[in-house]
Amino acid sequence: MPNSCQSIDTARVQARLDNLCKPPGSLGQLEAVAQRLCLIQQTLAPQTRPRQVTVFAADHGVTAEGVTAWPSAVTAAVVRVMQTGRTASGVFAQSLGCDYEVVDVGLLRPLPPCGDTYIDAAERRGSGNLLHEAALDVADFDHAWQVGVQRAAMACEAGKRLLIGGEMGIGNTTSASCLIGLFCKCDRNLLVGRGAGIDDEQLERKRAVVDAAIRRTETLKLSDAKRIACQVGGLEIVALAGFFAEGAKRGATVLVDGLIATSAALVADAIVPETSKSMIAGHRSTEPGHVVALAKLGLTPVLDLQMRLGEATGALAALPMLDLAAAMIRDMGTLDELAW
């Protein structure tokens, strides 16, 4: 018998999975999810509770280029609905027993204070237009990163075992596509999608903007992740990156959402190497760049429900699968117990 002080490695988890009261492999991908939970948490009895969703919101100067179907004012308008818990991520979080908070890291205009699950942490209001200039300066980056670090630190100190980060920011798929292009050096045609719903003409414009922004910045060294994020990032993306890095550092399991959250995961992993080892990808978004970013991080998404909303909804959709996987490996009887 392995002794419990030994580290939990793939072989040890697989031995437990294969000894559960079922034909080996018969729970399919749930077994892969259980593997991942055990390796991240270094236990054969992983936990998916208590859990928290933190949504970071900010506006983007690149909306001036006609790359999105929605005006920037919609970011704050959706955040107001988030404050009432009635967005998709709010109702998913409620129904799955997650604490939920919304953090303004850069809305164009501040919203009135609203309860203790809404935090106004913005210093800069909106990012620069990444087509022509750095979206953020280093001080903006440092502040947003620290906001994310602080939210993760507070969650972990309150005992949260599983952290889910979400975002809200009209225009942020342009930023995410640029980040993915710069970190993953892939074919440009694989990067750009329709975001929150653009027509063919807007899609062409968005492709040209992403292409030009990448050309403007591609001489930056990949090792200089902070400068890359300053050039084409967004305040909510940087905050998410800090949130992921701190959550991973403190031993939390980090459940990652769609295109934008995964671009933040790339930033986190580049700045704090091995952050991705604590991550599980909740789903695959319909945005084409998402596949590229997931591959770079070595993450296999749990679900593909053709979702493209963001806000943490894809991660939340996958959460019941994590609950089942954890219950399976933690609580099932074993083949050894079979009397036959």
Question: Which residues are tagged catalytic?
Answer: 311
CA dist 238 → 37, 83, 175, 246 (Å): 25, 22, 11, 12
With CB under 5 to 8 Å by kind, the binding choice for 136 among ligand DMD, ligand NCN, none is none
With CB under 5 to 8 Å by kind, the binding choice for 74 among ligand NCN, ligand DMD, none is ligand DMD
Beta bridge partners of 20: 334
Helix, strand, coil shares, percent, the chain, to 5? 50, 10, 40
Site string for ligand NCN, 172-211 (x = CB under 6 A): xxx--------------------xx---------------
Q: Which is nearer to ligand NCN, 17 or 210 (CB)?
A: 210
Among the listed residues 59, 101, 311, 323, the single contact to ligand DMD using CB under 6 A: 311
What is residue 29's three-state secondary structure? helix
Tokens of 231: 């050039």
DSSP state of 110: P
289 lies in the binding site for ligand NCN (CB under 6 A): no
Beta carbons within 10 angstroms of residue 32's beta carbon = 15
Tokens of 57: 């919101």
Among the listed residues 38, 168, 214, 256, the single contact to ligand DMD using CB under 6 A: 168
309 lies in the binding site for ligand DMD (CB under 6 A): yes
246 lies in the binding site for ligand NCN (CB under 6 A): no
Q: Is 41 exposed, middle or buried (0-12, 13-18, 19+ CB in 10 A)?
A: buried
70 lies in the binding site for ligand DMD (CB under 6 A): yes
Q: Which is nearer to ligand NCN, 101 or 311 (CB)?
A: 311
Residues 6+ apart with CB under 8 A from 21: 332, 333, 334, 335, 337, 338
Q: Interacting stretch for ligand DMD, rule CB under 6 A, among 102-110, 244-252, 282-290, 309-317?
A: 309-317
Smallest gap from Cβ 80 to ligand NCN, in A, equals 14
Residue 162: closest CA among 264, 33, 50, 302? 50
Site string for ligand DMD, 127-166 (x = CB under 6 A): ----------------------------------------
With CB under 5 to 8 Å by kind, the binding choice for 106 among ligand DMD, ligand NCN, none is none
Residues 6+ apart with CB under 8 A from 190: 288, 289, 291, 292
Largest CA distance in the chain: 72
List binders of ligand NCN among 141-170 (CB under 6 A). 167-170
> Is the bond into 50 cis (omega within 30 degrees of 0)?
yes
Smallest gap from Cβ 313 to ligand DMD, in A, equals 8
Which residues contact ligand DMD by CB under 6 A? 70, 74, 78, 168, 196, 309-311
